């Protein structure tokens, strides 16, 4: 879980690890997140769209530009959910969008649905790198 807001990282990590037993890796900047993604090869990345220095769209572009990370599905976590924003995100090729504020108890199901992790075996063995940008 990576987010510039530490409290969001804590809540999401605790919820996902407790409810799903996913291993959640965290980072608090775009550049650090790219390093973690490259070295850990997570099963998915959750990116918040807005973050200082390097926003989620810039990080997504960097992930897509690297052979080590271009195959990792990315879900955007954002407050920007107007139709114009959603159309722009769809053109990027992200796996999906989850709007903020979100219900932490519903988050694991939303992530699993967007990633097509319908069987519990696949979902429970995942390493989810939640990279959120605000």
Strand partners, 66: none
- Residue-range domain boundaries for the chain: 6-129
pLDDT tens sequence across 29-51: 899 999 999 999 999 999 988 89
pLDDT tens sequence across 121-133: 444 455 454 433 3
CATH number for 6-129 (one of 3.30.70.260, 3.40.50.2300, 3.40.50.620, 1.20.1090.10): it is: 3.40.50.2300
- Which pLDDT belongs to residue 109? 92
Distance CA 102, CA 118 (A): 21
| For helices 30-40 and 56-64, angle between their N-to-C axes, nearest 10 degrees | 30
* Helix locations, 1-134, DSSP H: 6-20, 30-40, 56-64, 83-92, 107-115, 120-124
């Amino acid at each position: 879980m990576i987010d510039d807001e530490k409290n969001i990282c804590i809540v999401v990590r605790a919820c996902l690890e407790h409810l799903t037993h996913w291993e959640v890796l965290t980072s608090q900047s775009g550049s650090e997140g790219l390093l973690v993604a490259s070295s850990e090869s997570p099963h998915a990345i959750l990116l918040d769209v807005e973050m200082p220095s390097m926003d989620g769209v810039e990080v997504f572009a960097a992930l897509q530009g690297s052979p080590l990370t271009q195959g990792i599905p990315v879900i955007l976590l954002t407050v920007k959910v107007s139709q114009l924003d959603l159309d722009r995100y769809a053109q990027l090729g992200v796996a999906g969008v989850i709007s903020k504020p979100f219900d932490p108890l519903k988050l694991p199901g939303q992530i699993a649905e967007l990633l097509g992790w319908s069987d519990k075996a696949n979902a429970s063995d995942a390493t989810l790198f939640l990279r959120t940008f605000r």
